[in-house]
Structure formats: structure tokens, C-alpha cells
């Protein structure tokens, strides 16, 4: 079931911008659609993401312009090979997938920060930590800026990193680490006040995500919460 939030913007630089949080079970996959341009941030663990992509990309469009991988864990990059088998991927940003199988695709490893703009939308990819050897703490996070909204996709970083890295103007937050208690601390949201928090999480997962601690923090901050385990595929339509 798709859950739709429509936010009306008086912007002439783009006509319609769709953000789709795919229901991929215990994992994360977010599709950005701006006209004929598509970007996918993470892929989820398996081929379920293909159904989500197929619902939003026209059947005659066989290209995904940009894929961003936050880190090499199956719940975030497990379907990259399946996607490449069905679509032509023009550009991949992230850690190099292992084993290396990308063909006819430009790959760029994120060392620090990479930014680019598509039709008035700014996309900023940032490596959360240069020094940590923890795969979650060193994940790539993604900031998406429209003239009136800022979306922050936080991958699996911890609550302290969230406080320090998340832009203060963030209006839509993907909660770190599927709602783990380590991804959201009581002071993580002291510097930013998102109006919407999205939790990409699998139904009846074995990790207990989202945690009671994380949900209590969001409730105390009076932040609206959407969850893929309860509402399925989530669609935000910025016009």
C-alpha cells in the first residue's frame, strides 16, 4: 500500500519530484524521480526492489541514471546485481561492490563529499566518517535539497553522528539504522527539527526495529512517523 504526502511548492525549476521509500523488508532503498531522471539510494537486500522501481519508472525506460550505495551490507546493496541485470546504470557512487561486476557503468568511490544538481535539486553525498573502521559509522549519507525542503538519508550512522552531520534545515529525515536505539539518541534532534521521520524497516524483523527508545524520542519531539513495515511503500510528492 502506498502512502502519499503531497507538498505544494511554487517552484518553476522543476515540475514534479517524487521520493519513494520502497518496501524492501529489512533494508533500505529510496528512489528519486525527477522527470525522466532516476536516482536510487541503496537497493535493499533482494529483488523486491525491482517491483518498486517498476511501479514508478515507465516500462520503456531502461536506464537508472544514478545509484548511490551507502555501504556494503546486504540490506543496503544486496540487489545491485539484480538491478544491473534489468536496467542500464549510468553512474554508481559509493564503496566498490564486492565482487566487482559493474560493466558499462561509471563508478566513483566516495572519499569525502560529492555534490551535483539535477534540474534545481541538489544532491550531496558525504562519507560520515573518514577514520572509523566501523562499516556503519563510515557509511555514505545523502542530503537532497529542494528550494523549500531538505531530505536527509542517514543510512546506518549512530545518533551522535546524526546530530553532528544532519543539516539543521532538514524537514524530512530517514531515521538511522532502521530505527535502532543506537541510531537516535535523546539529543540527536536538538539542532534540527524535521517534520517527518521515515523508518525503512522490515515487518516482524528479528532485530526489534524500530526500537521503543527511538520511537519515544520521535514522539517527544512531536515528529510525524511513517514506517514501511506498517504502511508499505511510501511516496512523497513534491510539486
- Determine the pLDDT at residue 232: 98
pLDDT tens for the chain, 239 residues: list them.
Answer: 444 444 333 333 345 899 999 999 999 999 999 999 999 999 999 999 999 999 999 999 999 999 999 999 999 999 999 999 999 999 999 997 766 677 678 999 999 999 999 999 999 999 999 999 999 999 999 999 999 999 999 999 999 999 999 999 999 999 999 999 999 999 999 999 999 999 999 999 999 999 999 999 999 999 999 999 999 999 999 86
DSSP SS3 for 214: helix
**DSSP secondary structure string, 43-98?**
--SSTHHHHHHHHHS-TT--EEEEEE---S-HHHHTTHHHHHHHSEEEEEESSPPS
- Determine the pLDDT at residue 32: 98
Domain that holds residue 139: 3-238
- Determine the pLDDT at residue 100: 63
CATH of the domain at 181: 3.60.15.10
CA distance 222 to 22: 24
Task: Check: CB of residue 131 under 8 Å from CB of residue 116.
Answer: no
- Determine the pLDDT at residue 8: 35
Task: Check: CB of residue 231 under 8 Å from CB of residue 4.
Answer: no
- Determine the pLDDT at residue 105: 81
- Determine the pLDDT at residue 174: 99
The side-by-side arrangement of strands in the sheet containing 3-7 is: 3-7, 234-238, 17-21, 30-34, 37-41, 63-68, 88-93, 106-108
Count structural domains, the chain: 1
CA distance 41 to 92: 10
Amino acid at each position: 500500500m502506498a502512502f502519499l504526502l503531497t507538498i505544494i511548492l511554487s517552484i518553476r525549476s522543476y515540475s514534479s519530484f517524487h521520493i519513494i521509500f520502497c518496501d524492501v523488508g529489512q533494508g533500505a532503498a529510496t528512489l528519486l524521480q525527477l522527470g525522466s531522471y532516476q536516482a536510487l539510494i541503496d537497493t535493499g537486500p533482494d529483488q523486491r526492489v525491482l517491483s518498486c522501481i517498476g511501479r514508478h519508472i515507465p516500462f520503456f525506460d531502461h536506464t537508472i541514471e544514478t545509484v548511490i550505495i551507502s555501504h556494503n551490507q546486504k540490506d543496503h546493496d544486496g540487489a545491485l546485481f539484480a538491478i544491473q541485470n534489468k536496467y542500464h546504470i549510468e553512474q554508481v557512487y559509493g564503496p566498490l561492490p564486492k565482487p566487482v561486476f559493474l560493466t558499462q557503468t561509471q563508478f566513483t568511490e566516495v572519499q569525502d563529499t560529492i555534490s551535483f544538481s539535477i534540474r534545481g535539486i541538489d544532491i550531496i553525498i558525504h562519507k560520515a566518517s573518514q577514520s572509523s573502521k566501523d562499516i556503519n559509522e563510515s557509511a555514505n549519507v545523502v542530503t537532497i535539497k529542494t528550494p523549500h525542503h531538505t531530505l536527509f538519508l542517514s543510512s546506518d550512522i549512530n545518533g551522535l553522528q546524526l546530530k553532528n552531520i544532519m543539516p539543521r534545515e532538514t524537514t524530512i529525515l530517514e531515521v538511522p539504522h532502521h530505527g535502532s536505539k543506537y541510531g537516535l539518541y535523546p539529543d540527536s534532534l536538538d539542532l534540527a527539527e524535521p517534520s517527518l521521520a521515515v523508518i525503512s524497516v522490515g515487518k516482524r524483523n528479528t532485530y526489534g526495529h524500530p526500537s521503543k527508545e527511538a520511537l519515544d524520542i520521535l514522539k517527544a519531539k512531536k515528529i510525524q512517523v511513517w514506517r514501511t513495515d506498517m504502511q508499505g511503500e511510501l511516496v512523497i510528492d513534491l510539486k
